[in-house]
A = this chain, B = another copy of it.
Amino acid sequence: MVERNLDTTFMALADPTRRAMLVALSTGEKSIGELAAPHAMSFAGASKHVGVLVRAGLVRRRKIGRQQVCTLEATPLRDAEQWLRRWEGFWTDRLDALEAALKEKPQ
């Protein structure tokens, strides 16, 4: 199930507007209008992006009066980060190998 969620999480993250929306939500909940504002985007355009984030489980959307208010749901981001963290050792190993190779080089 996590594997399937990774598909939708990474797909949702593959767009700069959606990534910016998540960053905006990290400081607190926002209306769709507030999320649209920095992108000179229509309400409908912003709402479509929010829909992708909602379906990926990254955002919760609820109605307060006439407004739709969005809240960040960070758990899928943590799963994605954990998947990517496995490569950390890979970079470190490569750097260690490079360092070792440089040390072996005659001065």
Residue ranges of A at the interface with B (Cβ–Cβ < 8 Å): 3-4, 6-8, 10-11, 13-16, 19, 23, 26, 72, 74, 77-78, 80-81, 83-88, 90-91, 94
Contacts and interface: CB of A to CB of B under 8 A. Distances in A.
The quantity of this chain's copies bound in the complex is 2
A10 B7 contact: no
A93 B74 CA distance: 12
Nearest to A26: B90
8 contacts: A7-B14, A8-B14, A10-B14, A11-B14, A14-B14, A26-B87, A80-B84, A81-B85
Nearest to A88: B81
Contact of A3 (B6, B16, B77, B91): B16
Contacts of A3: 16
B15 A7 contact: yes
